[in-house]
Amino acid sequence: QVQLVESGGGLVQSGGSLRLSCAASGFTFRVYNMAWYRQAPGKQRELVAGITTARNTNYADSVKGRFTISRDNAKNTMYLQMNSLLPEDTAIYYCNAPTLAHWGQGTQVTVSS
């Protein structure tokens, strides 16, 4: 019932940009705080950025100043604009609601040097 579909990943060179999208359905998107996470091979999943229902945002130190999280409640969609990408950003990126905890398939981001 709950569905989170990530898209927009791909292969980019260091310094490039990508915009990830998270299409949500099966729950009342607008009343949930949302977040982007990522997981690299051999590493634990980590929080990248969060956005509240009031559109307050927070970022991991490693992406602060480079990534921007946003949401469009009318479209039940969340976004992650990623600029100045680094090889260290290579990971599978997931969206989720921290209180919902329903993981989708993620979208692969690969940054080459």
Give the residue-averaged pLDDT of 41-47.
96
Rg (CA), the chain: 13
| pLDDT per position as a tens digit, 53-87 | 999 999 999 999 999 999 999 999 999 999 999 99
pLDDT at residue number 15: 98
pLDDT at residue number 39: 98
pLDDT at residue number 69: 98
Q: Is the predicted pLDDT of residue 101 greater than 90, yes or no?
A: no
Of 9-13, 47-51, 85-89, 100-104, where does mean pLDDT reach its minimum? 100-104
3 state SS for the chain: CCEEEEECCEEEECCCCEEEEEEEECCCHHHCCEEEEEECCCCCCEEEEEECCCCCEEECCCCCCCEEEEEEHHHCEEEEEECCCCHHHCEEEEEECCCCCCCCCCEEEEEEC
